[in-house]
Chain A
Amino acid sequence: MTALDPAPPPADPLLLAADWQRAGLGVALATVTETWGSSPRPAGSLMVVATDGRIAGSVSGGCVESAVAEAALQALQDRRPRLLGFGITDEDAWSVGLACGGSIKVLVQPIATGPAGAVGVA
């Protein structure tokens, strides 16, 4: 940080996504679109995932990040966006539910040229 110009916060997920893309990696964005109850991160919270498995940012308090990363890697393969739901009302509540009792929806989309294609709902 210089005295003249404050630096942006470190490890900004969106800046990293651009960096990774320029470096030739496939990159997917996962964004919280809706929350209910006491979910830890608000709508707009962002996590980015690269084809080499690098991850930055978060969509929850750490409860569902690995499941989201898995979906992001799939999205990078089939180049299709998907909308994921997590929460105690889900069947998989006991495996990747939110400990806080809230629920969230996460939009996972690959960064790619051309039309996005239908959003799959999981």
Chain B
Amino acid sequence: MTPELLTRILRNRADRRACVLATRLPDGTPVLLEDHDFGFRPAGSETVPAALLAEATSLAAAGRSGTTTLEGADWFLHLHAPPPRLLIVGAVHIAQVLAPFAAGLGMLPVVIDPRTALATPERFPGVALRHEWPDDALRALRPDRHTAVVVLTHDSKLDDPALTEALNGPAFYVGALGSRRTHAKRRDRLHAAGLSDRALDRLRGPVGLAIGAIGAEEIALSIAAEIVATRRGSPLATRSES
């Protein structure tokens, strides 16, 4: 590990791009693999086995680091992913519980609500707050593949533009609060507004894992659990009904 590699890893992270430091264990040779949207590539001019790039891609997708054996040598692949963000639309009671849950899970929560009476530092101590309209805020924050978006306002004026913006981007999780009926109506509205079935199939609603949640605290827990399950590729994140 050289100082230059360390600097480069930190630069990737500041740009919110994942990178994988691959270390060939017998001789300690490091190769930095950078994420170029269409796959991982060495940062320098090294040639590396194609299987190493494939392994980096699959580990990055699963959000894990790991060891693999290639051409008779052990490699350690260290994933440096940017901290995941959770963009919460709606400074409601569930958001007050969900934001600290997210922070405790190592995510960076941001609460978005133009209703300044709700999105206050008193209600959300230590949480980043934005008072723009949700779609403007989402355009500014640019959800990436390490970002989850959840809308909680129950107000289609606020929820729908945010969902349109989020579902057209690469966020790894997009969820919306509401009953099965609300969810069906919301799908119809968004479909009429031009979102494809494929984009809408990514929308998680009713939001959260089915843990029989009652009240804001338990609903927040079910949402946090579904975000973790999605991020880690757990079978729990697969919905049979959609």
Chain A interfacial positions (CB closer than 8 Å to B)? 1-6, 8-9, 14-15, 17-18, 21, 29, 31-34, 42-44, 81, 83, 107, 109-119
Contact = CB atoms under 8 A, between A and B. Distances in A.
B108 A21 contact: no
A16 B61 CA distance: 27
B106 A9 contact: yes
28 contacts: A2-B128, A3-B129, A3-B130, A4-B128, A9-B106, A14-B9, A15-B10, A18-B7, A18-B10, A21-B3, A31-B78, A32-B65, A33-B67, A33-B76, A34-B66, A43-B66, A44-B65, A44-B79, A81-B28, A109-B1, A109-B23, A111-B3, A112-B1, A112-B3, A113-B4, A116-B28, A118-B28, A119-B27
A119 B26 contact: yes
Contacts of B85: 6
Contacts of B64: 42-44
A39 B158 CA distance: 44
Nearest to A32: B65
Nearest to B27: A118
B205 interface: no
A87 to B, nearest CB: 15
Contact of B67 (A14, A43, A113): A43
A10 to B, nearest CB: 11
A15 B82 CA distance: 13
Interface residues of B, number: 35
Contacts of A17: 6
Q: Main secondary structure on chain B at its contact with chain A?
A: mixed
Listed from nearest, the 7 A-B pairs whose CB atoms lie closest are A116-B28, A44-B65, A6-B108, A6-B128, A43-B65, A33-B76, A81-B28
Nearest to B25: A119
Given A6-B108, A115-B28, A117-B27, 11 more contacts: A1-B127, A2-B128, A4-B128, A8-B83, A9-B108, A42-B65, A111-B6, A113-B4, A116-B29, A116-B30, A118-B28
A41 B13 CA distance: 21
B166 to A, nearest CB: 18
A42 B59 CA distance: 13
Interface string B102-115: 00001011100000
B2 A111 contact: yes
A47 B85 CA distance: 23
Contacts of A2: 128
B209 to A, nearest CB: 22
Contacts of B39: none
A19 to B, nearest CB: 10
Contact of A113 (B3, B27, B29, B30): B3
B26 A14 contact: no
